[in-house]
């Protein structure tokens, strides 16, 4: 059932929630039921959570705070703020320098 649901969700990705609900009520109910444990209301985010079968919402890789949902194609941000984004880039650059120094 899950694979069929995902196929329908991907094929009908641009269909508004109200139209999807009326045309695919069983799939809609499964998707909404699965996402009830998450505090999100945006239809695209609900679909993303179901398709990816997330067990919890992603958090910032630097500080652990919740991160923002971007889109169905991009998913969630990896950091929660500009500050954490800069720290992540700084850490990546340091790791790359250390890696290159060892070679």
Shared domain check, 48 and 10: yes
Shared domain check, 52 and 3: yes
Q: Would the pLDDT of 103 be above 70?
A: no
Task: For residue range 20-49, list pLDDT tens digits in order.
Answer: 999 999 999 999 999 999 988 899 999 999
Task: For residue range 60-83, list pLDDT tens digits in order.
Answer: 999 999 999 999 999 999 999 999
Shared domain check, 67 and 45: no
Shared domain check, 69 and 46: no
Shared domain check, 79 and 66: yes
Q: For residue 94, give both structure tokens.
A: 């340091």
Q: For residue 13, give both structure tokens.
A: 């990705």
State if pTM tops 0.75. yes
> Using CB atoms within 10 A of its CB, is residue 12 exposed (0-12), middle (13-18) or buried (19+)?
middle
Instruction: Give me the domain span that covers residue 35.
Output: 1-57
Q: Would the pLDDT of 16 be above 90?
A: yes
Q: For residue 58, give both structure tokens.
A: 């992603």
Q: What is the pLDDT of residue 90?
A: 80
């Amino acid at each position: 059932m899950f694979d069929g649901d995902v196929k329908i969700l991907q094929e009908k990705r641009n269909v508004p929630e109200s139209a999807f609900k009326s045309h695919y009520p069983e799939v809609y109910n499964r998707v909404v039921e699965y996402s009830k444990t998450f505090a999100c209301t945006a239809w695209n985010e609900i679909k993303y959570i179901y398709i990816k079968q997330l067990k919890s919402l992603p958090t910032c890789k630097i500080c652990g705070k919740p991160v923002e949902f971007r889109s169905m194609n991009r998913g969630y941000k990896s950091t929660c703020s500009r500050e954490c984004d800069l720290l992540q880039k700084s850490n990546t650059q340091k790791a790359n320098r250390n890696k290159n120094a060892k070679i």
